[in-house]
Amino acid sequence: MKNYKVFGAFRTNSAGVWYFAPQTGVFKEGKPCKGFGAVKYREGSVYTGDLYYDGKNFNKLGFGRQDFSRSEIGCLIEGINERKYLFEGRYDYRKTDWIYGNGVLYYTDAEGKPSHFKKGFFSGLIKIKDYEGEFDYGALIDGYTPDMEFDYDEDAERIKRRFMSVRTSAEGQGVKALFVGDSYFELFDSPEFAGKNLFGRLFGEGCINAGVGGSRFSDWLGWTDIFGHIPAPEKIFVNLGFNDLHSGYSVKTVYSNFRKFIKVLRGYYPEAEIYLSAVVRSPLFGESADRENEYNALIKDNARKLQVTVFDWNGLIEPTYEYFHPDGVHPNEKGYGIFFGELNKLLK
């Protein structure tokens, strides 16, 4: 009897679990076990490595590699003309369904040839600290050599460009509303995600979109200089917390950073009305619902004391691909239509 399972998604080259082999015994549906397998994601990347089957879901836990060569994540990076090719290292779904731990992120040039690699301790595709312990350069994958190492901070360069654009947008005009947040705001300007529901088309003049993809409250606490260049808005909309919770921060820490950030906003804009979006459940992070609910309850319970208004659109958007982009994280055109509807009610 075969002790592994091959799933239909493998045969059709579609998103889903491709195959799974338990460490011991025979795979049985509903019976938790550790093993090895492969999963393809809707954005096109393929993970191969250690998996933990909890009786329902196949979770990345242990060592593996994720290939982005056929994924939208592997698009050409502005500034260096290279692509993310593959991550090899540690994964821990208990921290985030994404990458978490020591690893190496490999890049190729525009033609697909090996170019650079970056080693470190990652949360998602963000290097959050140096590689822990001694790194074995002999373990680099084929085609890569020690002299190819670099430490390019793609996010820092992108943030600089983003903030310059925000400052330019705010010059010489009254600001009706300032939108501060993560990729939910930044990708509001992307036709690939928002479709016809583009931020600039829906909100118009006087509304400044300062969304920065991947950002957290902890990041914004270090970026406060930007507010000194934006005239005082009548209203501020904040969409943060999602990346904080999925980067392994505790609910208590995220809430503490949220309070610090509100204090910063009050210091710059004492008269502005502040609105905070509750963290939205998404298809990719279904296992994080308990932590998201705990955080959302905490901000709602303390909203009046902190003089903020919390709006929660979870009741209007389901964590399914009817409302979300194939990456399982960001809204699609329909999802952004709902998001706009809720924001527009508060903007009036």
> Looking at the structure, do residues 272 and 214 belong to the same domain, yes or no?
yes
Taking a C-beta distance cutoff of 8 angstroms, is the pair 108, 114 a contact? yes
CB 211 within 8 Å of CB 245: no
101 and 179 in a single domain? The answer is no
Q: Tell me which amino acid residue 57 is.
A: N
> pTM of the predicted model, to two decimals?
0.74
Strand partners, 180: 210, 238
Extract the runs of DSSP E, i.e. beta strands, from 110-170: 114-123, 126-129
Give the DSSP letter of residue 331: B
Task: For residue 230, give the CATH number of its domain.
Answer: 3.40.50.1110
One domain, residues 321 and 219: yes
Which of 130, 152, 174 is where one domain is finished?
Answer: 152
Looking at the structure, do residues 173 and 278 belong to the same domain, yes or no?
Answer: yes
For residue 103, what is the enclosing H or E element? strand 99-109
Q: For tokens 């931020």, what's the residue?
A: 199
Q: Do 167 and 206 lie in a common domain? A: yes
For residue 77, the model assigns a pLDDT of 87
Q: Give whole-number Cα distances, 60 to 51, 99, 303, in Å.
A: 5, 9, 36
The residue written with tokens 């195959």 in the block is 19
- If asked whether residues 123 and 159 sit together in one domain, one would say no
For residue 223, give the nearest of 265, 170, 254 by alpha carbon: 265
Q: Is 325 helix (H, G, I), strand (E, B) or coil?
A: coil
Q: Do 165 and 262 sit in the same domain of this protein?
A: yes
The residue count for the chain? 348
- Same domain, yes or no: 193 and 319: yes
Q: Residue 62's beta-bridge partner residues?
A: 91
Quote the pLDDT of residue 286. Answer: 79
Q: What is the domain extent for residue 163?
A: 155-347
Q: Are residues 68 and 216 located together in one domain of the fold?
A: no
C-beta separation of 197 from 336 below 8 A: yes
Domain count, the chain: 2
d(CA 206, CA 178): 8
Q: What's the pLDDT at 82?
A: 95
Same domain, 166 and 289: yes
Angstrom distance (rounded) from CA 208 to CA 273:
15
Contact 122, 89 (CB under 8 A): yes
Which segments of the chain have a pLDDT < 70? 1, 97
106 and 171 in a single domain? The answer is no
Strand partners, 7: none
134 and 190 part of one domain: no
Within 10 A of 68 (CB to CB), how many other CB atoms are there?
24
Out of 101, 126, 152, a domain closes at 152
The 3-state secondary structure of 210-228, one letter per residue: EECCCCCHHHHCCCHHHHH
pLDDT value at residue 2: 73
Q: Which domain-ending residue is among 93, 122, 152?
A: 152
